[in-house]
Amino acid sequence: MKFDHVTGKCVDLSFEGKGVVKLSYGTVFVDGLFLGEEAEIEIQYKRAGSYFGKVFRLIKKSPDRIQPKCGVCTACGGCQLQQLAYKAQLDYKTKKVGDAFKRHKVENIEVLPCISAENPYEYRNKIQVPIGRDAHGHIVSGFYRSGTHKIIPIEKCWIEDPRAGKIISVLKDLMKLFHYAPYDEDTRTGLIRHVLIRTSYHYDEVMVTLVTNKDEFKGKNNFVKEWIKRCPNIKSLIQNINTRDTNVILGEKERTLYGPSVIKDSILGVDFLISSKSFFQVNPVQVEKLYKKAIDFADLSKEENILDAYCGIGTISLCASKYVKKVTGVEIVKEAIVDAKKNAKLNNISNAEFLLGDAGEVFERLTAQGEKYSTVFVDPPRKGLDQKFIDTLLRIAPEKIIYVSCDPETLARDVKLLSEKYDIKQMQPVDMFPMTFHVETIVGLYRK
């Protein structure tokens, strides 16, 4: 039986910030429907036994519903919660973390209220924007409509650093001036595919990566000069060449067209060099709150050695280094270890070492050599810790594990396994991604 339009009431928000509507024949997940609201819902598709829809007509509005700043946020899909008052967003994220732990049967926990952002807008320091044409042939930039490759044209994104808007606007003007066509996925023709912009919060530095469908193109030098002239805050301009028929944004080959190959930013007074492909937290204000809270949870002392698994370019390692005797960072990505060593040298930090390899294997080898670590920081990707590393943690059993996570579900799963030998003493969500359903969480685990 097909259900085109149904009427229902939102009883909860899902993991992805969708309104949850319970009907006699199943659950409907609805974009842009908030707790307590009633609506006529247009069912769009069914997947894995659940229905997915959008609001056709609001019947009863939540007092927490607000007018969004962005006129296309419901079409773009990048800001799932921009129509929800910020306090209600924070409450949702606090509850989301607690619900994940309940599902994994982790008992007797207190989730502290989610730490807010002073300004929940204009925070993103990394922006990836596709370039294309609209139905009239005009060059447009924006974001893909959720689940499609259709570009929703956007002149100003309210969650990105405002410096990005002018740079993208100038690029589109110069594309017309130099007769550069945007890439067409169907015909695989055109030059400009994407533009990536990274901004520094603490320094007036901007890196632009232009993704092109060709290695060389006519008028490149004059194009670069004119772009820099009109946007003098661009410190670094990189060309990334991607000639493949793929949804992957970046290609393997890069060259620097202007300036250095890195820009610099700072976290808790420690400077970091950021390349076009470096992982660096996207919210420069909230990341300081995140790392400060993680370090506070660890209650570090100058007598202890600590391990930072999944250390990336050394952000947590170097921020924590001044509180301890020695910090060892481990990372499986070679380029990140190279960057971490450069960042230690940049800050004259001599008590941090960085090792390439699998976190569990390196941890095993170091402890077998007699090294002892009182605290282990883990900040894994969204998939969480692998079973092998969890087994290693349980076997070696450091005194404290400080777990930083971007996914409450995998965090709760891993903490449940670690609770065999560890008690949870603190759990703190941090709103790193306002206007979206994402949340970072820090858990302090202490050996029983």
Quote the CA–CA distance of 420 and 409 in Å, as a whole number.
18
Q: Are 276 and 238 in contact (CB under 8 A)?
A: yes
Q: Is the dihedral of CA 52, 54, 56, 59 positive or negative?
A: positive
Closest by alpha carbon to 249, among 220, 291, 212? 212
Q: Are 312 and 336 in contact (CB under 8 A)?
A: yes
Quote the CA–CA distance of 278 and 273 in Å, as a whole number.
9
The secondary element (H helix, E strand) that includes residue 395 is helix 387-396
Q: Are 415 and 443 in contact (CB under 8 A)?
A: yes
Does 73 qualify as catalytic in the annotation? no
Q: Are 210 and 138 in contact (CB under 8 A)?
A: no
Q: Are 446 and 410 in contact (CB under 8 A)?
A: no
Closest by alpha carbon to 139, among 171, 166, 187, 185? 171
Sheet holding 234-241, edge to edge: 151-153, 139-144, 126-133, 192-199, 206-212, 234-241, 253-258
The secondary element (H helix, E strand) that includes residue 361 is helix 359-368
Residue 223: both structure tokens together? 């194009």
Of the listed 76, 157, 319, 406, which one is catalytic?
406
User: What single string gives the DSSP state of each residue in 147-213?
Assistant: TS--EEE-S--TTB-THHHHHHHHHHHHHHHTTPPBPBTTTTB-SEEEEEEEE-SSSS-EEEEEEES
Closest by alpha carbon to 260, among 198, 193, 334, 167? 198
Which residues belong to the active site?
A: 406
